[in-house]
Structure 1
Amino acid sequence: MTSHRPVKGVILDVDGTLVDSNKAHAQSWVEAMKEHGYDVPFEKVAPLIGMGGDKVLPEVLNISKDSPEGKKITESRKKIFKEKYFSTVKAFPGTAKLLHHMHDQGLKLAIATSAEPDELHEMLQLIEPNIDQLFEQKATSKEASQSKPDPDIIHATIDLIGLDPDQLIMIGDTAYDIEAASKASLATIAFRSGGWSDRDLKGALAIYDGPEDLLNHYAESPLSRGI
């Protein structure tokens, strides 16, 4: 019989994992780039969502996020997302219930996201008012110099939550989440809700459609039976 280590904490991604925002972010990047003279197809940007702007801009335009041009595009993206697309973003079914259930089971919850702090707060409010009180810690772009798939944000979150990697599990929706977690010695549960295929998410311990699917199968999941 295989021995499983109990899970004591969960590190969660937000975009594409808890809220249905990946397409909105991709469209915001496309329009921001176009505003500054770069005509980039949506199909080129969409697979990069899950990385931060420090990865998206060099990958698509070969410019740094911290360059004058990069800063202008980044600010435009933020403005476009807030004014045009934020109202279209919704939490996935079962998100609030899953978070409350994990919290009630005694798990420490933390966020690891490439989003900026103000954007994260607004995203969490879409799930449920005051839902952020369930999280012990929230690591954002401010805590990491490099976004996923580099492990900086995961390392920062581990330090903040105060548990060993073998006591934690990551929940995310992209191959970048799995890669970043793996580099930080964390196991991963993946959701299909971000639009990635099972083949893309193959490094995960288990794959579910989204928060509601995991909640419905919680008893058999790594969260309950251990890693």
Structure 2
Amino acid sequence: MSLKGVLLDVDGTLVNSNDAHAQAWVEAFKKFAYDISFEEVRPLIGMGGDKVISLLVPGLTDSKGVGKEISSFRQQLIINQYGTKLSPTPGARQLLLKMLSEGLELIVASSAKSDELSVLLKSGGIDDLLPQATTSSDVDNSKPEPDIVQAALDKINLPPEQVLMLGDTPYDIEAASRAGINVIALRCGGFSDSQLEGAGAIYDDPAQLLEQYETSALSR
């Protein structure tokens, strides 16, 4: 069955934002007197923020109390400070244009909240190419739960076997796999090949995937 659609992660996949997200978490925790290091946070980027908080400080939740304040402060750092200074990953826009020219339906499937996502897409210079999105604002459970992926699949109304996901973290791979979707992984998000195990293929970045487009799963 031929490929009809591609689900797209954004952070680390299309926009160089993973380090910025980790730094924003460090600052947000510090503001509320929690000493969390960059090295502790960075491996968790790609999960939903609700999961990051409870993993780093058991007992905290992003839905109430100090955890909610931390989450809100981090979000404002991304929207007003870090998110406006980001760059696209190499070849991101060109790859999107190629996929669109091939008639593929594209939709964002991101753990970011919707108001963060608009900043990230604009910063990456790709907001005009991706009008459709599902985010953590749309579902109860964020990555690595499959809810965001499933919601994207429902929105474009395609069966899993006609869709691929493009991502950069183990959490993208797990979420997509649990929804029955194959994944192309990119190293530009900062994860190792062993951490990206389970992907159907791994490329350095969108530019390399574009170079090898005709031999990739995108051209099937």
What TM bracket, shorter-length normalisation?
over 0.9
Note if 1:107 corresponds to 2:112.
no
For structure 1, the 5+ residue unaligned runs are: none
Deviations 1:28-85 (A, max 9, x none): 0011001001001111100000011110001001111112111100111012223432
Residue 98 (structure 1) shift: 0.5
Counterparts in 2 of 1:159 and 1:136: CA distance versus 1, 3 Å: farther
What is residue 42 of structure 1 aligned with on the other side?
Answer: 38
Note if 1:78 corresponds to 2:75.
yes
1:126-205 to 2 correspondences below 5 Å: 126-128=123-125, 131-135=126-130, 137-205=132-200
Residues 109, 135 of structure 2: 8 Å contact kept: yes
What is the identity percentage for the equivalent residue pairs of Structure 1 and Structure 2?
49
What is residue 21 of structure 1 aligned with on the other side?
Answer: 17
Counterpart-to-counterpart distance in 2, 1:136 and 1:72: 30
Q: Secondary structure at the match of 2:107?
A: strand
In structure 2, what residue type is equivalent to 1:13?
A: D
Residue 14 (structure 1) shift: 0.2
Residues 108, 132 of structure 2: 8 Å contact kept: yes
Residues 8, 107 of structure 2: 8 Å contact kept: yes
Counterpart-to-counterpart distance in 2, 1:160 and 1:83: 30
Counterpart-to-counterpart distance in 1, 2:17 and 2:130: 20
Q: Secondary structure at the match of 1:135?
A: coil
Counterpart-to-counterpart distance in 2, 1:109 and 1:87: 24
In structure 1, what residue type is equivalent to 2:45?
A: I
In structure 2, what residue type is equivalent to 1:90?
A: S
Residues 108, 136 of structure 1: 8 Å contact kept: no
C-alpha RMSD over aligned residues? 1.2
What is residue 4 of structure 2 aligned with on the other side?
Answer: 8
Which of 86, 90, 104 does residue 93 from structure 1 map onto?
A: 90
Residue 136 (structure 1) shift: 5.6
In structure 2, what residue type is equivalent to 1:100?
A: L
Counterpart-to-counterpart distance in 1, 2:181 and 2:76: 34
**TM-score when scaled to structure 1?**
0.93
Note if 1:55 corresponds to 2:51.
yes
Counterparts in 2 of 1:126 and 1:213: CA distance versus 1, 3 Å: same
**TM-score when scaled to structure 2?**
0.96
Q: Secondary structure at the match of 1:170?
A: strand
Which of 212, 215, 220 does residue 215 from structure 2 map onto?
A: 220
For structure 2, the 5+ residue unaligned runs are: none
Deviations 1:157-192 (A, max 9, x none): 000011000000000000000000000000000000
Runs of 4+ displaced beyond 3 Å: 131-136
In structure 1, what residue type is equivalent to 2:11?
A: D
Counterpart-to-counterpart distance in 1, 2:29 and 2:66: 10
In structure 2, what residue type is equivalent to 1:120?
A: L
Aligned length: 219
Note if 1:117 corresponds to 2:114.
yes
Residues 136, 161 of structure 1: 8 Å contact kept: no
